[in-house]
Structure 1
Amino acid sequence: MKNLKYIYISLGILALTACNDPEDVDLEPEVVAEALVELNAGSADFSTYVSLGNSLTAGFTDNALFIAGQENSMPNLLSTKFALVGGGAFSQPLMNDNIGGLLAGGTQIEGFNPRLVFGGAGPVDLEEVVGPVASTTDIVLNNPTGPFNNMGVPGAKSFHLIFPGYGDISKLVEERANPYYVRMTGATPNASVLELAMAQSPTFFSLWIGNNDVLGYALSGGDGTNLITDQPTFDFAINTLVTTLTSSGAKGVMANIPYVTSIPHFTTVPHDPIDPAENDFAAQVPTLNTVYGALNQVYNAMGETARVVVFSDSLNNAVVIKDESLTDISAQITGAFNANPAFPVFVTQLGLSEEAAPLVASLLGATYGQTRPATENDLLVLPSSNVIGTVNEASFAALSAANLPPEVAGQFSVEGITLPLADKWVLTPEEQDEIKIATDAFNATISSAASGASLAFVDANQLLQDLAQGGVTDGDFTLTANLVTGGGFSLDGVHLTARGYALIANEFMKAIDAAYQSNFEASGSLFNIGNYPTNYSPALQ
């Protein structure tokens, strides 16, 4: 079973075509549209606009930051409309290319890679389509010169915006700085994002922050490596940001945090992706059910029927996952097998000697003490699609070191099938509840802060829920939350497409109209989202 893969997510592109056939020509008399009112800013002063936030503010898309994405960022789009009513120049810390990725002294920074592109069946790395590429944006050698009106920092949490030294390159090793922000601080590496924003004396600001305070936990499958921000810290950060930004009379607009269940990063991979027709999986079902049959006897005896695993040779199968909320019954599994006089005979069916029975009992207990089949209530993170059905090399090495033959070590190391998926690949219902509770509490803080300062407010949470629950229509286009085909979300399943950013920019303008009596919508000044792409060509470099 080594190096086999049992999951293939088939993704297509929807082609939009215009029909020029004679019968489609409208022969009705042209209707002259009623003249729209003249655009005005209302009580807002857009002369110095500064935007603060994270990757959604920076223009991050397709798992990278690059020039084209930045040019279609929500704040940069807004600045073009603000310029029509007195808005000034808008500067961004542009990357050096359309490849994406970051270097430090010529070396690629781990985790800061070139962008994703569509590979015909789904998202793939740019290099898989165009061959070797080299990022050229180097945080040591070629940082741009500020000040910057777009202060969106990919990866930033709420408190990072008020954190001194977040742009200090010397603190990267201890992970107390952000490479993207290093590019923005220039000669003031200790200055916070808020300080650099206030140094520009903004007359208007946008603030969309807080997503990463819960998203980091979600992206890591709730495995504890990236914790949800505690409520007092979040409240202090938001209130400090709003109080400071409005201290000189600036007006602004804020947006809240979407639920993770609204984004395709968590909704694309099904809980039952194992197709028995792929890679002769059906032929392996009897063997798998023999192994799990022994475990199922223990589960049933203990009344743990939700842990029972039975594979089908005709229907899609759920992956097997580790669920840390379950009681650990490793010792009971091992004890039950060691006490069963028939277990040594079972072990011989695996090609091992009867003397290996205690070792196998111990390994089975350690592996399956907190496992169960995934259900439709579990959310598998998008990268799990590249893991399910592959051999986990670390597991293979460990089992081989325990003197299991390579064939057996491989058979018991197949991700999601014989080796339960680790916590980082799955959000269980309990973890989802933690995220929702925190999101609701954070959104209450954001809403209260916006209301208290009489700021415009965008319910981004509801907008993205609408995308996920049937789609949002803007003009002639309807966007959904489907990966690749929906048009709203980019290939990483988290960030928006250029068209999605145009959609959210329209929502920001509508909120500004409501709060400050401007008339972007009534004057016909909203964006035609169809003018913005849903994907970028691999040739764009």
Structure 2
Amino acid sequence: MNTQYKWLLFLLIFAFIACESDDDAPVEEEVTITSGEADFSTFVSLGNSLTAGFTDGALFIAGQENSLPNIMASQFALVGGGEFVQPLMNDNIGGATLGGNVVLSPRLYFYSDPDPAPPNLSGPRLLGTTPEDNTPAVPTTEITTSVTGSINNWGVPGAKSFHLVAPGYGNVAGLSTMPQTANPYYVRIASGATSTVLGDAMAQDPTFFSLWIGNNDVLGYALSGGDGSDPITDETTFTQVYNTLITTLTSQDAKGVVFNIPDVTSIAHFTTVPFAPLDPTNPGFGPLIPTLNAQFAGLNQVFVALGVPERSIEFAIDAASPVVIKDESLTNLSAEITGALQANGVDAGTAAVTGFLYGQARPANASDLLVLPSSSIIGQVNTEAIATLMGLGLSQEQAGQLAVNGVTYPLEDKWVLLPSEQQEIATATTAFNAVISSAVQEAGLAFVDANALLNQVSDSKNGLSFDEFQLQGNLVFGGLFSLDGVHPTARGYAFLANQAAVAINTTYGSNLPMVKAVDYPTFYSTMLP
């Protein structure tokens, strides 16, 4: 056959196959996005900092623009959702002033120390500060400058469940009372001195709502180390308030999505600082270990004699050692320690001080959780302790030696969540989530199990998949938690928005699309305009 015809035949066959292939190829159908039974035309969100868009320890414009409800509103806009107005702060510094005085701190940023040798200063810092300059940036948002007009995002950082129905929570005068009865974030957006967050939200005539409240009802207690300064909300109050919220929000036939309370002890704020951070290679600590162990030798003998050898304090020279903590759940052996030391020839004053300091002391263990701010005070001299010890008759020099946080001075309750305190939190969280689950089922609302999601992050080495990324629970580089160790990053909020969309689609028959992880950052630049 002529070569020319061979090529002609080949081309004809190729064209035929190509046409046939095109005819058989699946045609991608255009999907129509629908709202199902939901009406997203007027969407309001209620809650606390997790709703407001709080991240990196502050509320600021970029964080608010990537808030959970604002991301949800972008999905709702595809199926008839209206404008979603947020009470934006004045800047990307974060924080705020009251009468010109800074009352809310600027946001955090991550500082990377170029010198890896101790002391390594890498870590979260207030915006504007470096190791050479500890002056934070100055916020430009003034609390008393009210935000007027329609608002859709009623997330109030710091709010507990009952605060959403408390008249006067937005009254500026309440910021001067002790304790405070108002919240500076709500003061800025409240419609009046006696208004409530719930009332202001309902004034928008919502057709759809989101509600994520209750975290602070247990988180406040946890953040304070369970020291009693911020108690857990009682179950009766939580039940009454939560049912009031759901009943009111659905009273005009609005539909909605609700989030429950995660196990707050699993967040990075409580899992970052190790219980054994005392490094023998640290030049400020290592050389002192022999002297410290010699000083504790007599006390340790008393612990053994009293039948509590597990309280003995000894620092290792070849491994990191636990900090010394005060465990108020232990029997107070101050009197026994004092008496035993005196019986062994120790002078009365020294024996009394030792009993005072270590009557409920023990080394921390893996069951204890140290709050994130403890990292900045461990190994530092406690000036308040110095004053207390000098009041017991010690010289300033002696008091200073016995006032080193976590070493010679047991870490106070506010820095440590004991197992008993963790159990209190777990019990309350379980009870509150049962209330939420019951209310959601009765009202037929969409539901996001934030507790289960966080447990997956905490229990899995790989974390949660979000497109091509893995969200993990570790601070800074895990992708889920921002630099404060409590609030999500923008990518974390986007992940939660997708979980809400899945729940809404399942409950109301909509088919909201998912947002993409790559569109949401995990860090904010210090150079944000």
Q: TM-score under structure 1 normalisation?
A: 0.88
Task: Spell out, residue by residue over 1:371-396, the C-alpha distance to the aligned partner (whole angstroms, 9 max, x if none).
Answer: 10000010000000001000001112
Whether the aligned pair in 1 keeps the contact of 2:129 and 2:137 (CA below 8 Å) is: no
Which stretch has the larger CA shift, 207-216 or 361-370? Answer: 361-370
| Alpha-carbon distance in 1 for matches of 2:128, 2:83 | 36
Q: Tell me the equivalent position of 1:410.
A: 400
Deviation at 1:217, TM superposition (A): 0.2
In structure 2, the residue matched to 1:215 is 219
Give the unaligned 5+ runs of structure 1: 1-30, 344-356
Match of 2:5 in 1: none
Tell me, yes or no, if the aligned pair for 1:506 and 1:527 is still in contact at 8 Å.
Answer: yes
Deviation readout 1:471-496 (Å, 9 max, x if unpaired): 11011111101100101100000000
**Aligned pair partner of 2:488 in 493, 496, 514:** 496
The 2-side partners of 1:34 and 1:432 are apart by 53
1:158 equivalenced with 2:190 (yes/no): no
Matched, 1:483 2:487: no
Change (3 A) 1:405 1:511: same
Contact 2:73-2:81 within 8 A present in 1 as well = yes
Once the two structures are TM-superposed, the CA of residue 147 in structure 1 deviates from its matched residue by 2.5
Letter of the 1:263 counterpart: I
Amino acid at match of 1:454: G
> Is 1:534 the equivalent of 2:528?
no
SS at match of 1:312: coil
Shift of 1:282: 2.5
Contact 1:324 1:370 in 2 (8 A): yes
Q: Separation in 2 of the partners of 1:76 and 1:491?
A: 21
Q: Name which of 411, 428, 439 aligns with 1:421.
A: 411
The farther-off stretch of 225-234 and 295-304 is 295-304
Structure 1 residues 340, 241: CA separation in 2 closer, same or farther (over 3 Å shift)? same
Aligned pairs (5 A) from 1:104-123:
104-109=98-103, 112-120=104-112, 121-123=122-124
State the match for 1:506 in structure 2.
498
- Tell me if 1:144 matches 2:147: yes
Quote how far apart the aligned CAs of 1:33 are.
Answer: 8.9
Q: Structure 2: how far apart are the matches of 1:65 and 1:496?
A: 12
Whole-Å Cα distance in 2 between the matches of residues 284 and 32 of structure 1?
A: 74
Alpha-carbon distance change, 35 to 268 in structure 1, aligned in 2, over 3 angstroms: farther
Task: For residues 211-257 of structure 1, give each alpha carbon's deviation from its aligned partner in whole angstroms, at most 9, with x where no partner exists.
Answer: 00000000000000000000000001100000011011010010000
SS at match of 1:265: helix
Alignment RMSD? 1.7
Q: What is aligned with 2:358?
A: 368
Higher relative contact order (CA closer than 8 Å, sequence separation 6+): 1
Structure 2 counterpart of 1:258: 262
Q: Provide the secondary structure at the position in 2 that maps to 1:292.
A: helix
Q: Quote the Cα distance in structure 2 between the aligned partners of 1:60 and 1:280.
A: 37
User: Is the 8 Å Cα contact of residues 307 and 372 (structure 1) preserved in structure 2?
Assistant: yes
How many Å separate the matches in 1 of 2:434 and 2:388? 47
Match of 1:14 in 2: none
Q: Does the 8 Å CA contact 1:146/1:184 hold for their aligned counterparts?
A: no
Matched, 1:54 2:41: no
Q: Show the counterpart of 2:88.
A: 94
Aligned to 2:318: 314
Once the two structures are superposed, the pairs formed by residues 234-383 of structure 1 within 5 Å of their partners are 234-341=238-345, 343=346, 357-383=347-373
Task: Work out whether residues 46 and 85 of structure 1, in 8 Å CA contact, stay in contact via their aligned partners in 2.
Answer: yes
- Whether contact under 8 Å (1:64, 1:116) holds in the other structure is yes
**What is the identity, as a one-letter code, of the residue corresponding to 1:68?**
A
Aligned residues of 2:106 and 2:136 also touching (Cα < 8 A): no
**What is the CA distance between 1:36 and its match in structure 2?**
5.6
Instruction: State the shift of 1:469 in Å.
Output: 2.4
Question: Could you tell me which amino acid in structure 2 is paired with residue 66 of structure 1?
Answer: F
**1:407 Cα deviation from its structure 2 partner:** 3.1
Q: Higher mean Cα deviation, 429-438 or 292-301?
A: 292-301
Q: Tell me whether 1:169 sits opposite 2:163 in the alignment.
A: no
**Distance in structure 2 (CA, Å) of the matches to 1:65 and 1:487:** 19
Name the residue aligned to 1:17: none
Determine which of 378, 381, 384 is the counterpart of 1:391.
381
Runs of 4+ in 1 over 6 A off after TM superposition: none
Amino acid at match of 2:344: N
- In the alignment, which residue of structure 1 is the partner of 2:186? 181
Deviations 1:439-480 (A, max 9, x none): 000001001100110000000011111122231101111110
Count of residue pairs the alignment pairs up: 491
In the alignment, the residues of structure 2 paired with residue 118 and residue 32 of structure 1 have an alpha-carbon distance, to the nearest angstrom, of 49
Distance in structure 1 (CA, Å) of the matches to 2:182 and 2:26: 56
Judge conservation of contact 2:349–2:393 (CA < 8 Å) in 1.
no
Cα separation, 2, equivalents of 1:402 and 1:303 = 28
Q: How far, CA to CA, are the matches of 2:288 and 2:254 in structure 1?
A: 66
Separation of aligned partners in 2, 1:52 and 1:280? 48
Query: CA separation in 2, counterparts of 1:308 and 1:415?
Result: 17
Alpha-carbon distance change, 32 to 104 in structure 1, aligned in 2, over 3 angstroms: farther
Residue identity opposite 1:318 in structure 2: P
* Structure 2 counterpart of 1:119, one-letter code: Y
* SS of equivalent residue, structure 2 residue 352: helix
Q: Which residue of 1 aligns with 2:17?
A: none
Moved more, 171-180 or 406-415: 406-415
CA distance in 1, matches of 2:27, 2:163: 48
Query: Equivalent residue for 1:350?
Result: none
Give the Å deviation of 1:280. Answer: 4.5
Could you list the runs of 5+ residues in structure 2 that have no partner in the other structure?
A: 1-24, 113-121
Partner Cα distance (1:501, 1:396) in 2: 44
Structure 2 CA distance for aligned equivalents of residues 314 and 308 of structure 1: 18
Aligned partner letter, 2:467: G
Does the alignment pair 1:133 with 2:137? yes
1:143 Cα offset (Å): 2.4
- The Cα offsets for residues 340-365 of structure 1, whole Å up to 9 and x where unpaired, read as 22x2xxxxxxxxxxxxx211111111
Letter in 1 for 2:128: E
1:92-118 Cα deviation digits (max 9, x unpaired) = 111000101111111111xx2000100
Could you tell me how far apart the structure 2 residues matched to 1:262 and 1:413 are?
Answer: 30
Q: 1:176-223 deviations in whole A, cap 9, x for unaligned?
A: 11000001114x121111101111111000000000000000000000
Q: Distance in 2 between matches of 1:436 and 1:442?
A: 10
Counterpart of 2:182, as a letter, is: A
Q: Match for 1:154: what amino acid? A: P
Q: Which amino acid aligns with 2:127?
A: L
- SS at structure 2 position matched to 1:296: helix
- 1:157 and 1:132, CA in 2 relative to 1: closer, same or farther beyond 3 A? closer
Classify the secondary structure of the residue corresponding to 1:213: helix
One-letter amino acid of the counterpart of residue 158, structure 1: S
What amino acid maps onto 2:246 in structure 1? V
- Cα separation, 2, equivalents of 1:134 and 1:340: 58
Give the aligned residue type for 2:353.
L
Which amino acid is 2:363 matched to? P
**The structure with more radius of gyration:** 2
Q: Which amino acid aligns with 1:256?
A: N
Q: C-alpha distance in 1, partners of 2:364/2:26?
A: 58
**Fraction of identical pairs, as percent:** 57
Q: Which amino acid aligns with 2:36?
A: G
